[in-house]
């Protein structure tokens, strides 16, 4: 997959910001177009330079300058990025895993680039939310993304109530292994124990697992199975009489 690197400006002289999706676990999911975008960028703005270096090494990419760009410094680093773009550079924006701006930083930079008249392009690819959705076994014609539920207080209660109120759409939720049991318990309380759910972890990785059933069953299972890896939950609409809303049997 080796490709030659370029200078800080694009070969065609047209500066642009390129939002590049990267693997969520399996490096084999890095697309040829993503490799090309990373190879020809003058700068790669990334959450963690160490992870970005691992990705670039896998694709045999050398040359682009890595710039740390995360939620704690996004406001401070965006003006310099715009100056580089206006000077003719091309910047590739990546996240630690998956698609930038989807529960990752980058929206401030994209808005600033557009306001400055800089073209913004997307190189689509891996997304944990979509990967979980399509293997959930639940209806996927209508769905929404909630990201991480607030950890405490009124904000958490309101978000759980909003999820419970989704009667026609699947809801995709992210959670860490340290809090997934509590989330499942709270979902059972807010949505009812029979609400269908797919519990996905380590998607695309060696120990990928997808469990399907009800939130009450998922919570009980989590008490006996040590949570490992990052989790994506797909909460289905309430079951309807005569319909198997939960999809396939638990696995």
Q: Yes or no: say if 179 and 187 are a contact pair by the CB < 8 Å rule.
A: no
Residues 172-212 have pLDDT tens digits of 999 999 999 999 999 999 999 999 999 999 999 999 999 99
Asked whether residue 72 is domain-assigned, the answer is yes
Within a domain: 54: yes
Q: What is the pLDDT of residue 104?
A: 87
The answer to whether residues 110 and 172 belong to one domain is no
218 forms beta bridges with none
What are the b/e assignments for 157-170, b being 16+ CB within 10 Å?
A: eebbeebbebeebb
**Same-domain status, 80 and 110:** yes
Mean pLDDT of 47-69: 95
Average pLDDT over residues 79-97: 97
Q: Mean pLDDT score of the chain, rounded to an integer?
A: 90
Q: Is the pLDDT of residue 14 over 90?
A: no
Helix (H, G, I), strand (E, B) or coil at 58: helix
Based on the fold, state whether residues 50 and 106 are members of the same structural domain. yes
Q: Give pTM, 2 decimals.
A: 0.85
Residues 6+ apart with CB under 8 A from 175: 148, 149, 183, 231, 232, 233
Predicted confidence at residue 5, as pLDDT, reads 35
Residue 235 has pLDDT above 80, yes or no: yes
* Domain membership of residue 45 as a residue range: 16-123
Domain identity same for 197 and 231: yes
pLDDT greater than 90 at residue 60 = yes
**Domain boundary at 68, 88, 123, which?**
123
Residues 89 and 25 placed together within one structural domain of the fold: yes
Are 44 and 38 within 8 A, CB to CB?
Answer: yes
Residues 98-152: pLDDT tens digits?
Answer: 999 988 889 999 999 999 999 999 999 999 999 999 999 999 899 999 999 999 9
Residue 206 within a domain: yes
* Residue 77 exposed, middle or buried by CB count within 10 Å (0-12, 13-18, 19+): middle
**Which pLDDT does position 63 carry in this prediction?**
86
């Amino acid at each position: 997959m080796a490709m030659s690197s370029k200078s800080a400006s694009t070969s065609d002289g047209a500066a642009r910001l390129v939002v590049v999706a990267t693997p969520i676990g399996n490096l084999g999911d890095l697309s040829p177009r993503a490799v090309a975008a990373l190879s020809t960028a003058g700068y790669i703005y990334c959450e963690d330079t160490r992870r970005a270096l691992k990705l670039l090494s896998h694709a045999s990419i050398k040359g682009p300058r890595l710039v740390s760009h995360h939620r704690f410094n996004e406001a401070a680093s965006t003006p310099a990025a715009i100056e580089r773009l206006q000077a003719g550079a091309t910047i590739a924006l990546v996240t630690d895993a998956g698609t930038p701006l989807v529960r990752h930083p980058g929206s401030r930079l994209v808005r600033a680039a557009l306001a400055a008249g800089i073209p913004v392009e997307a190189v689509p690819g891996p997304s944990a939310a979509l990967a979980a959705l399509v293997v959930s076994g639940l209806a996927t014609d209508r769905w929404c993304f909630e990201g991480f539920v607030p950890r405490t207080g009124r904000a958490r209660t309101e978000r759980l109530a909003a999820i419970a109120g989704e009667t026609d759409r699947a809801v995709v939720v992210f959670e860490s292994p340290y809090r997934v049991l509590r989330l499942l318990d709270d979902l059972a309380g807010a949505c009812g124990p029979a609400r269908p759910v797919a519990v996905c972890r380590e998607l695309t990785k060696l120990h990928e697992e997808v469990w399907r059933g009800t939130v009450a069953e998922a919570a009980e299972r989590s008490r006996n199975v040590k949570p490992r890896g990052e989790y994506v939950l797909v909460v289905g609409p309430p079951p309807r009489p005569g319909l198997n809303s939960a999809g396939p049997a638990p696995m």
